[in-house]
Amino acid sequence: MHESDLIRHYATIPVGTSFVRPVDVLHLLQSQPIAAKPRVFDVGCGQGQVAIALAQAWPDAEIIAIDISPEQIAKARQAATQAGINSIQFGVADWREFDLPRSGVDIIVAAQVIQFMPDEHAFVEYLADALALDGQLLLRSALLPEEEPGRSFVEQVVQQWIAHSIRFYSERNLTDLLRECGLSRLRIDKEEMWLDNLPAERQASLNRALQQHNLGIDDVQQWFWAGSIVGVRR
């Protein structure tokens, strides 16, 4: 039921919608040496913006990008064609049924995906096990505060913002998870989620939470962060 709800929801996402800035992904990945012809896997690729940016950065890369939404993959293929990119293997697939190359993957990107996973450890372990030596896994997500009351407040709000999400994690949760799955040399890039210029629907849900807890935006702004965390297989 959860997967079918996700597929129906993402069928309605407008063309051009991106949940991460590709330039930020590139900047973080390029802080570690990368093979001239990297093997890349983008899981939950959405409309393909990150995969396309990676193909532009490494024209000889072997890139596989999957999503469970046929509509998102169709938009990704269209975007790649418009960008003059024909080297990406886009596919409609569930990661649980997808066999990655046994030779190992140099870069794996999972942007705004982990919050939908019923078993986040199994998901990250699957990705970490697929990495080649010195390969990189990048996770991107909203980041919860470590302490209460901020943690519960932010989770309440972002679960309304991101439909069908199951749970969110703090920076410490995600770094611990990557280490448990055998990754090291962690690097983090995070930014504040500005609350003074939200889309109307998100602003309305935030306002309801603020009223419920008798808080103002200035009280909670410090709690709202998003970030990307990269681990390396050594």
Q: Is the pLDDT of residue 57 over 70?
A: yes
Where residue 89 sits, what CATH number does that domain have? Answer: 3.40.50.150
Beta strand 225-233 with 169-170: parallel, antiparallel or unpaired?
unpaired
Determine the Cα–Cα distance for residues 157 and 22; give it in Å rounded to an integer. Answer: 25
pLDDT digit string (tens) for 100-159? Answer: 877 799 999 999 999 999 999 999 999 999 999 999 999 999 999 999 999 999 999 999
Determine the Cα–Cα distance for residues 164 and 42; give it in Å rounded to an integer. Answer: 21
Q: What is the pLDDT of residue 5?
A: 78
Beta strand 183-192 with 225-233: parallel, antiparallel or unpaired?
antiparallel
Q: Is the pLDDT of residue 1 over 50?
A: no
Burial of 74 (0-12, 13-18, 19+ CB in 10 A): middle
Determine the Cα–Cα distance for residues 116 and 167; give it in Å rounded to an integer. Answer: 7
pLDDT digit string (tens) for 20-53? Answer: 889 999 999 999 899 889 999 999 999 999 999 9
Beta strand 62-67 with 88-92: parallel, antiparallel or unpaired?
parallel
By percentage, how much of the chain surpasses pLDDT 70? 99
Cis peptide before 149 (omega within 30 of 0): yes
pLDDT, mean over the chain: 94
Q: Is the pLDDT of residue 11 over 80?
A: no
More confident residue, 5 or 178: 178
The parent domain of residue 169 ranges over: 2-233
Burial of 71 (0-12, 13-18, 19+ CB in 10 A): middle
Q: Which positions ≥6 away from 165 have C-beta within 8 Å?
A: 115, 116, 158, 159
Give how many domains the chain has, as a whole number.
1
Mean of the pLDDT values across residues 177-189? 97
Query: pTM for this structure?
Result: 0.94
